[in-house]
Structure 1
């Protein structure tokens, strides 16, 4: 006697498999894109950290200076590149003090990091 199979009781239909594969493909594409964005964000964050280190180095040099700091600019190597920095000096809130601001710029000229201190000759 031949065995009869009930069509509804076994396996997945072709449509169900195709829908499952389409959902999996969309999830895989989303994960790959998220991975790329995470890598891009990590690189951007590393650049900001290097720029902040350059800004901090320049403000510390001004703070440790025995004479009043002056406006200046230059480049400092951090990471794999040279960072252009600019130091500005303005009168402080108390006589004999100065506000020292250091800005570090990126490749497009945008400010990537800043640091500021109140210098006192005492």
Structure 2
């Protein structure tokens, strides 16, 4: 047999496996990053919906100046919110709403004048 027909050497196979392993690790890392990004987008979107809903409720009800807080359930998740009502001048009232995810970080906010 000629030397060209014998196949790959052990060293060549090890190098090929190492390159393949690096590619697989990079692809898995990329997939994990995409999953984390999708989860963050979902969290912000749901929190934004809740903040807008609370802002609409604040416009429809009489709000007393001060701070209120509570819990709400949306999208099979539990959210905490805080509403701050303060005078804004010219007879207007500013209502600020902050929505927090389960990790305690603010995920969305809304502000309305009434």
* TM-score above 0.5: yes
Runs of 4+ in 1 over 6 A off after TM superposition: none
Query: Which protein is bigger by CA-based radius of gyration?
Result: 1
1:95 aligns with 2:90: yes
- Aligned with 2:90: secondary structure? coil
Could you list the runs of 5+ residues in structure 2 that have no partner in the other structure?
A: none
Equivalence map 1:56-95=2 (5 Å): 56-65=52-61, 67=62, 69-70=63-64, 71-92=67-88, 94-95=89-90
Could you list the runs of 5+ residues in structure 1 that have no partner in the other structure?
A: none
Deviation at 1:40, TM superposition (A): 2.0
* Contact preservation (8 Å) 2:79, 2:99: yes
- Of residues 51, 56, 78 in structure 2, which corresponds to 1:55? 51
RMSD between aligned alpha carbons? 1.7
Aligned length: 111
